[in-house]
Amino acid sequence: MRNFLLILNFVVLSACRVPLEDGISDPFEASNRQAHEINKSIDKNIIRPMALVYGDITPIKLQSVANNMSMNFSLPRYSMNYILQGELMNASRSSMKFLVNSTLGVGGIYDFSSQLGLTSEKTDFGETMAKWGFREGPYLEILVLGPSNQRDGIGKVVDLVLDPVGLIGVGAKSAATATSVAFGLSARSQFRESIDSILYESADSYAQSRLFFLQNRRYELGTNKTEHYIDPYN
């Protein structure tokens, strides 16, 4: 763990040296494009076909159950990040929502907390770093995970390694992973037309994916409110 934190500290400090937030910093474009082509191949041959089958044969109610459980398993991670951001009220809301859904909602199968008026906005360690003042750094296309940037790439690793769900037990972690995959397949199926148009119908799918991610992420974090925000996964 100590070595992991030392490596994280080094990468974070490197990210801070890249001041661009309103433009596009892509010094790794050549390798990013290679990763993009691999990701497109994975999507075309594995993810997209699985998503279409999942979306077509899985009943909507069952998809809803998997999505509810996936969102519920995300709440402890939201709480952890809200605490790190100093947002204690939001942290308590996420924690309470997790408690209610895990008990009255039967392990998150039902979003019972929404009936009680409990809400919680998603967050992640990338946003936590943004709140701490770290800039986004160069654009990155990460294998399997897709479009990102240096700050959010670090955030994905931290969220994965330090996910509080792992403290509950191996069973909970496995369930969280399985429902997360189901949620991703459901989203890929539901927004197939929009995603396909970017990946397979645009003249330059890499540039289009990069622009789409950066505009949406900056709007989400409040660093570029002039751009129209479209989030296909919400």
Predicted confidence at residue 39, as pLDDT, reads: 98
Predicted confidence at residue 199, as pLDDT, reads: 97
What does the domain layout of the chain look like in residue ranges? 2-221
Cα Rg of the chain (Å, integer): 18
Do the beta carbons of residue 199 and residue 40 sit within 8 Å? yes
Q: Is 9 left (phi over 0), alpha (psi -120 to 50) or beta?
A: alpha
Predicted confidence at residue 224, as pLDDT, reads: 65
Contacts for 46-51 with beta carbons within 8 Å, 24 or more apart? Answer: 47/184, 47/185, 47/188, 48/188, 48/192, 48/196, 50/185, 51/184, 51/185, 51/186, 51/188, 51/189, 51/192
Each residue's pLDDT expressed in tens, for the chain with a length of 234 residues? 444 333 344 444 444 444 444 589 999 999 999 999 999 999 999 999 999 999 999 999 999 999 999 999 999 999 999 999 999 999 999 999 999 999 999 989 999 999 899 999 999 999 999 999 999 999 999 999 999 999 999 999 999 988 999 877 778 889 999 999 999 999 999 999 999 999 999 999 999 999 999 999 999 998 764 444 344 443
Q: How far apart are CA 204 and CA 132, in angstroms?
A: 34
